[in-house]
Amino acid sequence: MLATYSIGEPNGRPPILIAHGLYGSARNWGVIAKRLSDTRQVVTVDMRNHGQSDHVAPHDYPAMAGDLAEVIEGLGGPVDVVGHSMGGKAAMVLALEHVDLVRKLIVADIAPVTYSHTQQGMIDAMRAVDLSVVETRGDADRQLANFVEDQGVRAFLLQSLDVRGKVWRLNLDQLEADMDAIIGFPEVSGVFDGPVFMLSGAESDYVTHEHRPEIKRLFPAARFVKIPGAGHWVHAEKPREFEAACRAFLDA
């Protein structure tokens, strides 16, 4: 079962379900969820092996899509789905395998393809932090700085640190074991004909022109929009623009 967090009241309009990316959690999306909840219910989740959700195997997209389907069925589905990066891939598999549960789909800065870059370095960096001597988030940040230069990335990772419990709220062993599945994309039969919004950062190289034929094959109605000045963390870097673009698409 996934840990879920709901904001806003059910009001007859389809709820919005938000799925975060690798090493993230529902709390990364708190501000955007709160803003979007002015017109309908918004549900954020901790994906499996993240946050407060269960540590389980496998960590692959059919399993993650199944988790999301369970949540949507509990909401009485169908819903509108927003997914970023890993959560975007899970949302795409959800739409392809559970067509009846998704009304509209927003995919934030990811394509349904296999990428060559591994995310193993972040796991190595988190493992390198000696949690036994960590008393504050600042203690952990100073250690992490030896391995991760970007302060923003460190702040993001540290949201998944339980300082008091001296433990990462991430199943690092399982994420490492399934890294090939995470950077890959499964063979999925079927097509999702519903509205799809591929919303990317203009400074990101995660969704390229070369990816478009495969996206259109699986999602014939896909539209493409890039947010200027944003990279892969498009929702964090340009939250107002991201929210406005999502709202326009979902309310159309």
CA neighbours closer than 13 Å in the CB half-sphere of residue 79: 27
- Do 18 and 124 fall into the same domain? no
The confidence score (pLDDT) of residue 29 equals 96
Has residue 94 been placed in a domain? yes
- Do 163 and 73 fall into the same domain? no
Kindly report the pTM of this predicted structure: 0.96
From first to last of its 252 residues, the chain has per-residue pLDDT tens of 899 999 999 999 999 999 999 999 999 999 999 999 999 999 999 999 999 999 999 999 999 999 999 999 999 989 999 999 999 999 999 999 999 999 999 999 999 999 998 899 999 999 999 999 999 999 999 999 999 999 989 999 999 999 999 999 999 999 999 999 999 999 998 999 999 999 999 999 999 999 999 999 999 999 999 999 999 999 999 999 999 999 999 998
The confidence score (pLDDT) of residue 45 equals 98
Q: For position 205, which CATH number holds?
A: 3.40.50.1820
Q: Residue 49: left if φ>0, alpha if ψ -120 to 50, beta else—which one? A: left
The confidence score (pLDDT) of residue 118 equals 85
Quick one: tokens of 231?
A: 């990279």
Cα–Cα distance for residue pair 123/176, rounded to 1 Å:
7
Cα–Cα distance for residue pair 175/182, rounded to 1 Å:
8
CA neighbours closer than 13 Å in the CB half-sphere of residue 41: 17
145 secondary structure, DSSP code: T
Beta-carbon neighbour count of residue 30 at 10 Å? 14
Range of the domain at 126: 120-170
Quick one: tokens of 219?
A: 């999602």
Q: Active site residue: 20, 59, 60, 85, which one?
A: 85
Cα–Cα distance for residue pair 122/120, rounded to 1 Å:
5
**Catalytic site residue 117?**
no
The confidence score (pLDDT) of residue 123 equals 97
Has residue 125 been placed in a domain? yes
Q: Active site residue: 38, 130, 162, 173, which one?
A: 173
- Do 12 and 89 fall into the same domain? yes
At 50, give phi and psi (nearest 5°): -135, 155
Has residue 176 been placed in a domain? no
Has residue 54 been placed in a domain? yes
**Catalytic site residue 85?**
yes
- Do 47 and 79 fall into the same domain? yes
What total of structural domains would you count in the chain? 2
Strand partners of residue 199: 108, 225
- Do 201 and 98 fall into the same domain? yes
Has residue 102 been placed in a domain? yes
